[in-house]
Amino acid sequence: MSGPMAQAFAHNFLGHSPRWYKACIITFLILNAVVLWTLGPVIAGWMLVVEFIFTLAMALKCYPLMPGGLLLVEALVLGMTTPKALYDELLHNFPVILLLMFMVAGIYFMKDLLLFLFSRLLLGVRSKALLALMFCFLSAFLSAFLDALTVTAVIISAAVGFYAVYHRVASGNDPRLDSNVDEDHELPSHHHEDLNQFRAFLRSLLMHGAVGTALGGVCTLVGEPQNLLIGHEMGWHFADFFLKVAPVSLPVLVAGLVTCVALEKLRWFGYGTLLPDNVRTVLADYAEQDNRERTARQRAALIVQGIAALILIVGLALHIAEVGLIGLMVIVLITAFTGITDEHRLGNAFKDAMPFTALLVVFFAVVAVIHDQQLFTPLIQWVLALPADQQPGMLFIANGLLSAISDNVFVATIYITEVKQAFVSGHMSREQFETLAVAINTGTNLPSVATPNGQAAFLFLLTSAIAPLIRLSYGRMVWMALPYTVVMGGLGWYAVTYWL
């Protein structure tokens, strides 16, 4: 191959990613095959998991879909999993995929209402600690009855709106017209410090909100997908589930909210940054002008969005249908009654969700490899071989560690299946079975905030449009989640071990 053509291929491979990053991916692809053929599929499987986590950690260098996808295509070619296993995994998680396809787009059509409501919250509450507490508590409350991804999509949509308004005004553009907010070259130099401070402010609010979804999601039967699975296996209804988990979930909720306020007051781990006065002025002026110039059609659209939001909340709380289908209903209602009838405007709503949906398919392929190669089986067998009084605490730790590197729904599925088999075989009492079920539920929900791949809401935040704008990287998310991980994981383990 000629020199210029070879250079063209090298340049095109993973685009503008750094050369060292491209070299790492190529090295991974070569090593995987060598390790599989020499050391076996288990070691190769664990290498693949670590490599995929690396692509997530480097999400700001290259969107993980491409390098992660290459790794998983290779895994399929090498036989580490099969297309059928991947398809079965996707079928099992189809409700999550459906949710991302339609619910996130549905939230997009509510962005005017969200910006209207959140701007009043942001401008009306001067105390950063109180504002952070409200974000965390509201996210927890909503996630206990709705879906964590939906709640995360709401706060991301509001944050993108605030960022875009300030960036456009600071760049001298009309805040109501679309413009490129990814680049800062049009921004006057005196605005850069305010923008960096605003980024830190939004990062902290988004992280408090994301952690809140975990705090609330663990509490109820409908809070997380694995809760519903565990409740079904145990025969628990809504009230049963809440009461069984309450000795762990409620103390952790209180501790999480206290941690939220403490982090803002102490300004540790990247928290505590205040909203710059210049940014507050821009957002206040925009809100005032928006109110003054709002037309009758725009007011009617806000009313329609508000009614759709109420229908959404009631529909999700009562679980009248799969979450994704409720999202599709919201899209139909808002677009039909606000005059959005051309395909181009509809298509814009799906741009943010579809890349993450594709990435999630790749993620489920990693889960298929873990399942086919039984990477977690030795740990499960070791925990169940321990004395009965040690099992809950160790099960909590094992679930937390595995959920932090894998999918918490998958981990919960594997563990509850194994534990139920042990119960049916007569190896444990019903009381012990219920205690271990609570340990599995809390273990997959609480310590998994340690990494973005531990919680779907965290992964969604990491790969969303807002993450590169506010410089929210994988490493920064891990660092900002660390105090929450220690508090929620430590207190959760203590409660599982001594209070159940």
Return the pLDDT at 153.
81
> Quick one: pLDDT band at residue 487, thresholds 50, 70, 90?
very high
Q: What is the pLDDT of residue 216?
A: 92
Q: Percent of the chain at pLDDT above 90? A: 33
Long-range contacts of 327-332 (CB under 8 A, 24+ apart): 327/99, 327/101, 327/102, 327/103, 327/104, 327/105, 327/106, 327/107, 327/150, 328/102, 328/106, 330/103, 330/106, 330/109, 330/110, 331/102, 331/105, 331/106, 331/109
Residues recorded for the chain: 500
CA–CA gap between residue 431 and residue 412 (Å, rounded): 19
Two tokens at 87?
A: 């398809």
Helix axes 83-92, 353-372, angle to 10 degrees: 120
Amino acid at site 214:
A
d(CA 39, CA 50): 16
Q: How confident is the model at residue 90 (pLDDT cuts 50, 70, 90)?
A: confident
Range name among 102-116, 236-250, 463-477 with the lowest pLDDT average: 102-116
The DSSP 8-state label assigned to residue 192 in this structure reads H
- Quote the tokens at residue 86: 């991947």
Q: What is the pLDDT of residues 223-266, one digit of tens each?
A: 777 787 788 788 888 788 899 999 999 999 999 999 999 999 99
DSSP one-letter code for 126: -
Residue 289's identity, in one-letter code, is Q
| Interacting residues of 286 by C-beta distance below 8 A, sequence separation 6+ | 119, 165, 169, 175
320 falls in which pLDDT band (50, 70, 90)?
confident
**Which of 119-128, 141-150, 310-319 is predicted most confidently?**
119-128
- Whether the per-residue pLDDT at 186 is higher than 70: the answer is no
Q: How confident is the model at residue 407 (pLDDT cuts 50, 70, 90)?
A: low
What average pLDDT does this structure show over 161-189? 73
Mean pLDDT of 418-428: 83
Q: What tokens were used for 139?
A: 């996210």
pLDDT of res. 441 = 92
Whether the pLDDT of residue 378 is over 60: the answer is: yes
pLDDT at 80 over 80: yes
Distance between CA atoms of residues 265 and 259, nearest Å: 10
pLDDT recorded at residue 200 = 94
Phi and psi (nearest 5°) for 68? -65, -40
Is pLDDT at 326 greater than 90 in this prediction?
A: no
* pLDDT tens per residue across span 25-36: 999 999 999 999
- Of the pLDDT bands very low, low, confident and very high (cuts 50, 70, 90), residue 177 is low
- Please answer whether residues 412 and 469 qualify as being in contact, where contact means their C-beta atoms are separated by less than 8 angstroms: no
DSSP 452: G
CA dihedral of residues 196, 158, 103, 371 (deg, nearest 10): 30
Closest CA to 104 of 486, 481, 401, 463: 463
Per-residue pLDDT, 147: 67
Question: Of 27, 55, 28, which Cα lies nearest the Cα of 453?
Answer: 55
Residue pair 138/92 in contact by the 8 Å Cβ criterion: no
Distance of CA 193 to the CA centre of its chain: 29
Q: Is 184 helix (H, G, I), strand (E, B) or coil?
A: coil
CA 323/CA 315 separation, integer angstroms: 8
Highest mean pLDDT among 110-114, 240-244, 310-314, 355-359: 240-244
- Is pLDDT at 178 greater than 70 in this prediction? no
pLDDT mean over 335-354: 83
What does the radius of gyration of the chain's CA atoms come to, in whole angstroms? 23
Entry pTM: 0.80
pLDDT of residue 282: 86
d(CA 392, CA 406): 20
CA 366 to chain centre: 17
Q: Distance between CA 48 and CA 72 in Å, rounded?
A: 8
Angle at 158 between CA 155 and CA 163, to 5 degrees: 125
Task: Give the C-alpha distances (Å, rounded to integers) separating 344 from 132, 340, 341.
Answer: 37, 10, 9
The segment with the largest mean pLDDT, out of 1-15, 209-223, 310-324, 378-392, is 209-223
Residue 295 above 80 pLDDT? yes
DSSP string, 77-114: HHTSS-HHHHHHHHHHTHHHHHHHHHHHHHHHTTHHHH
12 burial class (0-12, 13-18, 19+ CB within 10 angstroms)?
exposed
Q: Provide the pLDDT for residue 405.
A: 74
Average the pLDDT over 345-355 and give the result: 80
Q: Which among 83, 82, 91, 28 has a CA at the least distance from the CA of 54?
A: 28
Q: Is the pLDDT of residue 330 over 80?
A: yes
Average pLDDT on 388-409 reads 84
Q: Which residue has the tokens 């979450």?
A: 323
DSSP 37: H
Q: How confident is the model at residue 477 (pLDDT cuts 50, 70, 90)?
A: very high
Stretch 60-68: mean pLDDT, rounded? 86
How far is residue 69's CA from residue 81's CA, in Å, rounded to a whole number?
A: 14
Most confident of 58-72, 206-220, 274-288: 206-220
What does the mean pLDDT of the chain come to? 86
One-letter amino acid at 245 equals V
8 A C-beta contact, residue 462 and residue 472: yes
Going from the C-alpha of 481 to that of each of 80, 380, 414, 466, the distances in angstroms are 33, 27, 26, 18
Report the distance separating Cα 121 and Cα 190, nearest Å. Answer: 27
pLDDT tier, 176 (very low <50, low <70, confident <90, very high otherwise): low
